[in-house]
Amino acid sequence: MTDDTRNGEPQKLFRWIQRQTGLSRRKAQELIAAGEVSVGGQVVHDPYAPIEGEGLEQVTLRGHPLPVDRPEPRIYRYYKPVGVLCSHDDPHSGNTVGRVLRSEGFVGYTWAGRLDRDAEGLLVLSNDGDLVNAFTHPRYEVEKVYRVWTHRPPDPAKAKGIFERMRAGIVDEGETLRILDGRFEGRPAHAVVRLGEGRKHEVKRLFRSVGLDVRRLLRVRIGPIELHDLKPGEILRLDSAAEQAAFAFARKRLEAS
């Protein structure tokens, strides 16, 4: 999204990896530190090693040469089904988003928006590391909307009070968790909540704190991107207008920080 390749000037190795692959900053740094990256045939362990000129054309990641041209930045929506883990690789579970991406031929892509293994719904896939960062980092407070089914329908008389408590903030394990707003809808009733932050198991913890166990958790929106009628397991590229809007949204977040 932002072009930070200054002709002739060195840049940091991890930034180059990030830029050419769409991996997160942390993942790019981890891969370098783990000895997975070489430049001109030499393994380089320092993520901050300067790189320029011909060196840019001689970088390999896990033995594969990195493309020199920047791929066209793209954004896809993915409906993560229940049972798939948000991890690139997991020795204990082959059922990971990383494996889905590899099997679908998504080279250099990563995702924004973690979901628990037993949660489902929208992940945003992109080969643009800046966009993924803007959608992921807590600093940017990108809104997320969830549909939440609990072990018993909420008492209608108490529903308003429940959301008021969640809006005011609930302290759990030393963290204050809160929603922006919420409502119940449908039959049987389920909750629709909008959150501005992204803490671990946040929705489950919020509902548990008001005596409701989450049975099904479905994310339907991240920032301007909606799940719409995507089916579990489906991956679909945003249309051009939605893609441009998402890049503009991310740019605004990054520039404001």
Nearest distance, CB of residue 17 and ligand URA, angstroms: 28
The answer to whether residue 116 is catalytic is yes
Identify which of 100, 129, 97, 128 has the alpha carbon closest to the alpha carbon of residue 114: 97
Q: Which residues bind ligand URA (CB under 6 A)?
A: 115-116, 119, 201-204, 217
Q: Which is nearer to ligand URA, 199 or 251 (CB)?
A: 199
Catalytic residue among 116, 155, 213, 229: 116
Q: Which two tokens stand for residue 177?
A: 């968790």
Q: Which is nearer to ligand URA, 1 or 195 (CB)?
A: 195
- Residue 244: CB atoms within 10 A of its CB come to 12
Nearest distance, CB of residue 139 and ligand URA, angstroms: 18
User: What span, in angstroms and rounded, lies between the C-alpha atoms of 168 and 210?
Assistant: 13
Q: Which is nearer to ligand URA, 191 or 217 (CB)?
A: 217
* HEC letters along 164-229: HHHHHCEEECCEEECCCEEEEECCCCEEEEEECCCCCCHHHHHHHCCCCCEEEEEEEEECCEECCC
Nearest distance, CB of residue 18 and ligand URA, angstroms: 25
Active site residues: 116
